[in-house]
A and B are shown apart, each in its own frame.
Chain A
Amino acid sequence: MMEFLSVLWFFLIFLLIAGYFVLDGFDLGIGTLSPFIAKNDEERAILRRSIGPVWDGNEVWLLTAGGALFAAFPDAYATTFSGFYLAVMLVLFGLIVRAVSFEFGAGDPHWRKLWDACFFVGSLLPALLLGVAVGNIFAGIPMDAIGDYVGMPLFGLITPFTLLTGLLGLSMFLAAGASWAALKTPLDSELRARAIALRMPLQVVSLVLFVIVSIYALILIGPDMDANLSVLRILFAVLVVAGLVVAMIVGKLQDNDLKSFLAQSASMIALVALLACSMFPVLVNATPDSIGPAITIYNAASSELSLACMSIILCIGLPLVLAYHVIIYRTFRGRISAADLKH
């Protein structure tokens, strides 16, 4: 039972991360793209309005993933959050200023520029650094016997590999943002034309970065990967590529923004699934010179009772959460119109 629960929670954590990357991913993308595709106040308002009703709920996926990691694998939570201290703080400050920039920007014309800047920086920092963090737990960090990070603060976390994973994350978020913008902006607007013009190039960049990161990852920790999951890894790698390619094709040839956005999102889910299957059963890898061992589901999991309680909480909570999302996305479906901006 313990074995089953540990494995289950390993994949559930990644499921929550996938939920966050897919949903808040396009919010972060919109925020980062905003200064480049919105040329006036009205266009900026349309972009903000496109994520206005949903961004907060989307962000809760991150809090859920963080809480679940704390509950299910406390050692992994403690090591990563304290080890990546300054990087986590930068993500945090980004999320903080982004959250308030929404509500404050609309109500304070004199400080609009400041809040617009906060919206951009607050989206860019998480969009870039989340990928860097994933790169680090994937490639490994030096730890002492208890599992405390012993490398150099912040700069020790930046390597060619983690920079590439950061850029891959960023490009995937930006592509999702462009897809969402294309889906929600008025049909014949210049804003939509600019979003579409960026969508495909961003998808191509994501594809190229994905291939590079995959090869690099295989060289780095390829031999350590769980052999039983190799079929799944190949499947998910194919799905990442297929999702992006389909997103490009339906976006370009059929001009179908919804299908393109969904394919883009599927590609993101496949990417997180691939990550999970490549790391299993490791949560935080250790570098070769590390004193402490890698943090795995076998040495970091909470007790059986704790995991069982968490499973019950999730069984009750997740259907509710999905229902809320159906309600909110249905209520606010369709493109933004001029009337919507008067709120």
Chain B
Amino acid sequence: MEAFADVALLSRIQFALTVAYHFLFVPLSIGLGLILAINETRYYRSRKPEDAAATKFWVKIFTATFAIGVATGITMEFSFGTNWANYSRFVGDIFGAPLAAEALFAFFLESVFLGVLLFGRKRVSPKFYMVSAWLVWFGSCLSALWILIANSWMQTPAGAELNAEGTEAIITNFWEAAFNPSIFARYTHTVDALLIMGAFAAMAVAGWYMLKGRNKDFAMKTMRIAAVVGIVSSCAMIVFAHASAVNVWEEQPTKLAMMEGMYDSEVPPLYAIGIVDEESQEVIAPFAIPGGTSFLATGNFETEYPGLNELAQTEQFGDMNVEDLPVGLVFQSYHIMVAMYGLIMLTAILVLIFSFKGARIQKMRWLQWAAVLSPIWPFVAIQTGWITAEVGRQPWVVYPSMSGPEGVSLLTNDAISMSVSSVELWITLALFVLVYLILLIGWIRVVGRFIKEGPIVEAGAVKEGE
């Protein structure tokens, strides 16, 4: 029964649920935003009505996705105050500025120029329309930057100090706080993943049309754009993912130990799959490359790394209770993410080869099916990646990172709103599940309809804009 009245746990569940849901749609809209902008640039050059139809098709899907992303994003901004009042008091001096900057610099840009995309085809010049498409995408990448600055600061605090009373983190240097030790690795890693998501979503649409034998020209063009974006972003991911892993190695030892299931200090091996037995504190895996993780992080096979039990003895991580840590969840999330990357790379290579060499994909039904199913891989990778990042820093909400200023850390359990009861949380949790479920069904219906309709070439659109 205790769990039913645990405000901290319920608040975490609500935040996890709403942020995971929000992060279904944001990756799609940022990823598809690029596909849309590329399409519109093609139209700007060609002025062919079918290219205009392609842009319009993507604008419709983008807008439906963007709308739900915006709507569920408001939840996130409000939730710091509604459910994490003590967190807000602790970090307000630093954390609020990026949120305000995100709204000022990014949200206004995105929303205003999306208005142009939606309603302005006949009202603005073709050039202005194309620039608007790029500005919407640029705005969404900028918004990702600000929110990841905020999130990365919670992972690796910098440019701050604890106030004299020990109740608040106070900013000492804006640039150090904004460009904290993990921001570059985490920003590139995240945004690149979103581009993969967009490319694979476009692949799926193109693959579906190929299977149905419809919109052949559009399907082939889309498949090629998606193949190029897909392969470039998937290859770049090797660099970005590696940088992120090295950053965790250097800054967040407890997270790294959870990712690899290391309870005791060891030279970390590399597992492809495995199970963490939290009782006996062991990893059960069919095979392992000895020192593999050590090699990936440091370049040699012999670097020893502290385990959770050792880390719990230190002053820095002393607040951690090893038995309560969700090691299995973090281990599995991390390894599923890596496995998904294997599938992503494989799909990207196959689609690239067969989209360009004589467009053979048009006759390969199995590859068309693979393209239709392909968004599942980045989708699962993105969700499990975030679980790794967010659950991996528990039990802290502001993590006591290796290079972080002394004392600037906060336990998740100390971050809640004292004035919110578990009853209120149950009410809002139920409402979130209900409303978000209806939104999801509504989104599937609308986007499904748009895809069924396909791009519609307007009669008389040939002369337009010339």
Q: How far is the CB of B284 from chain A (nearest CB, A)?
A: 43
Q: Are B64 and A82 in contact (CB under 8 A)?
A: no
- B364 an interface residue at 8 Å Cβ cutoff? no
Enumerate chain B residues within 8 angstroms of A62, measured Cβ to Cβ.
74
CB-CB nearest in chain A for B63 = A103
Q: How far is the CB of A316 from chain B (nearest CB, A)?
A: 8
Q: How far is the CB of A145 from chain B (nearest CB, A)?
A: 11
Q: Are A96 and B96 in contact (CB under 8 A)?
A: no
Q: Are A115 and B442 in contact (CB under 8 A)?
A: yes
Known contacts: A67-B77, A97-B435. The answer to whether A320 contacts B108 by CB under 8 A is: yes
0/1 string, A93-134, CB within 8 A of B gives 1:
101110110111001101100110000000000000000000
CB-CB nearest in chain B for A64 = B103
25 example contacts (A-B, Cβ-Cβ < 8 A) are as follows A54-B115, A57-B112, A66-B78, A70-B100, A71-B95, A74-B93, A77-B80, A82-B418, A88-B81, A93-B435, A95-B71, A100-B71, A100-B439, A107-B64, A107-B450, A108-B445, A302-B96, A310-B96, A314-B100, A316-B105, A317-B101, A318-B104, A328-B115, A331-B124, A332-B119
Enumerate chain A residues within 8 angstroms of B102, measured Cβ to Cβ.
67
Q: Are A146 and B418 in contact (CB under 8 A)?
A: yes
Q: How far is the CB of A168 from chain B (nearest CB, A)?
A: 24
Q: Are A70 and B92 in contact (CB under 8 A)?
A: yes
Q: How far is the CA of A306 from the CA of B160 in the complex (A)?
A: 11
Q: Are A79 and B94 in contact (CB under 8 A)?
A: no
CB-CB nearest in chain A for B173 = A305
Which residue of the partner chain, among B111, B420, B439, contacts A57 with CB atoms under 8 Å?
Answer: B111
- A324 an interface residue at 8 Å Cβ cutoff? yes
Closest CB pairs A-B (n = 8)? A74-B92, A81-B81, A71-B96, A317-B104, A53-B115, A67-B100, A70-B96, A82-B417
Which residue of the partner chain, among A64, A75, A88, contacts B78 with CB atoms under 8 Å?
Answer: A88
- Is chain A's binding surface mostly helix, strand, loop or mixed? helix
Chain A interface residue count, CB cutoff 8 Å, equals: 76
Kindly list 19 other residue pairs between chains A and B, CB separation below 8 angstroms, not including A96-B75, A331-B124, A340-B119.
Answer: A57-B112, A60-B111, A63-B103, A68-B100, A74-B92, A74-B96, A77-B80, A78-B92, A86-B427, A93-B435, A100-B439, A104-B443, A147-B89, A148-B417, A305-B174, A306-B93, A310-B100, A321-B104, A343-B119
Enumerate chain B residues within 8 angstroms of A64, measured Cβ to Cβ.
100, 103-104, 107-108
Enumerate chain B residues within 8 angstroms of A83, measured Cβ to Cβ.
419
0/1 string, B62-98, CB within 8 A of A gives 1:
0110111011101101101111011011011111110
Q: Are A86 and B170 in contact (CB under 8 A)?
A: no
Q: How far is the CA of A123 from the CA of B169 in the complex (A)?
A: 38
Q: How far is the CA of A33 from the CA of B448 in the complex (A)?
A: 31
- B114 an interface residue at 8 Å Cβ cutoff? yes
Q: Are A150 and B419 in contact (CB under 8 A)?
A: yes
Enumerate chain A residues within 8 angstroms of B92, measured Cβ to Cβ.
70-71, 73-75, 77-78, 302
Q: Are A89 and B450 in contact (CB under 8 A)?
A: no
- A80 an interface residue at 8 Å Cβ cutoff? yes
CB-CB nearest in chain A for B105 = A317
Enumerate chain A residues within 8 angstroms of B417, measured Cβ to Cβ.
78, 82, 85, 148
Q: How far is the CA of A291 from the CA of B104 in the complex (A)?
A: 37
Which residue of the partner chain, among A53, A60, A144, A324, contacts B119 with CB atoms under 8 Å?
Answer: A53
CB-CB nearest in chain A for B97 = A71
Chain B interface residue count, CB cutoff 8 Å, equals: 72
Q: How far is the CA of A313 from the CA of B149 in the complex (A)?
A: 15
0/1 string, A39-71, CB within 8 A of B gives 1:
000000000010011101101101110111111
Q: Are B104 and A306 in contact (CB under 8 A)?
A: no
Q: How far is the CA of A71 from the CA of B98 in the complex (A)?
A: 8
Q: Are B120 and A331 in contact (CB under 8 A)?
A: yes
Enumerate chain B residues within 8 angstroms of A148, measured Cβ to Cβ.
85, 417-419
Q: How far is the CB of B413 from chain A (nearest CB, A)?
A: 16
Enumerate chain A residues within 8 angstroms of B105, measured Cβ to Cβ.
316-317, 320
Q: How far is the CA of A69 from the CA of B123 in the complex (A)?
A: 37
List B409-442 residues whose CB lies under 8 Å from chain A.
417-421, 424, 427-428, 431, 435, 439, 442
Q: How far is the CA of A263 from the CA of B155 in the complex (A)?
A: 49
Which residue of the partner chain, among A74, A99, A149, A328, contacts B419 with CB atoms under 8 Å?
Answer: A149
Q: Are B81 and A63 in contact (CB under 8 A)?
A: no
Q: Are B80 and A70 in contact (CB under 8 A)?
A: yes
> Chain A residues in contact with chain B, CB under 8 A?
49, 52-54, 56-57, 59-60, 62-64, 66-75, 77-83, 85-86, 88-89, 92-93, 95-97, 99-100, 102-104, 107-108, 110-111, 114-115, 144, 146-150, 153, 302-303, 305-306, 309-310, 313-314, 316-318, 320-321, 324-325, 327-328, 331-332, 340, 343
Q: How far is the CA of A190 from the CA of B115 in the complex (A)?
A: 27
> Chain B residues in contact with chain A, CB under 8 A?
60, 63-64, 66-68, 70-72, 74-75, 77-78, 80-83, 85-86, 88-89, 91-97, 99-105, 107-109, 111-116, 118-121, 123-124, 168, 170-172, 174, 417-421, 424, 427-428, 431, 435, 439, 442-443, 445-446, 449-450
Q: Are B174 and A102 in contact (CB under 8 A)?
A: no
* CB < 8 Å A-B pair total: 246
CB-CB nearest in chain B for A85 = B420
Q: Are A103 and B446 in contact (CB under 8 A)?
A: yes
Enumerate chain B residues within 8 angstroms of A86, measured Cβ to Cβ.
424, 427-428
CB-CB nearest in chain B for A154 = B424
Q: How far is the CA of A317 from the CA of B94 in the complex (A)?
A: 18
Enumerate chain B residues within 8 angstroms of A318, measured Cβ to Cβ.
104
Known contacts: A89-B428, A100-B439, A314-B104. The answer to whether A78 contacts B115 by CB under 8 A is: no
Q: How far is the CB of B72 from chain A (nearest CB, A)?
A: 7
Q: How far is the CA of A327 from the CA of B115 in the complex (A)?
A: 11
Q: How far is the CB of A86 from chain B (nearest CB, A)?
A: 6
Q: Are A52 and B119 in contact (CB under 8 A)?
A: yes
Known contacts: A67-B100, A77-B92, A317-B104. The answer to whether A305 contacts B115 by CB under 8 A is: no
Q: How far is the CA of A25 from the CA of B100 in the complex (A)?
A: 21
Task: Determine which residue in A86, A306, A318, A340 has the highest number of CB atoms from chain B within 10 A of its CB, and name it.
Answer: A306
Q: How far is the CA of A53 from the CA of B111 in the complex (A)?
A: 8
Q: Are B103 and A67 in contact (CB under 8 A)?
A: yes
Task: Determine which residue in B64, B72, B114 has the highest number of CB atoms from chain A within 10 A of its CB, and name it.
Answer: B64
Q: Are B85 and A79 in contact (CB under 8 A)?
A: yes
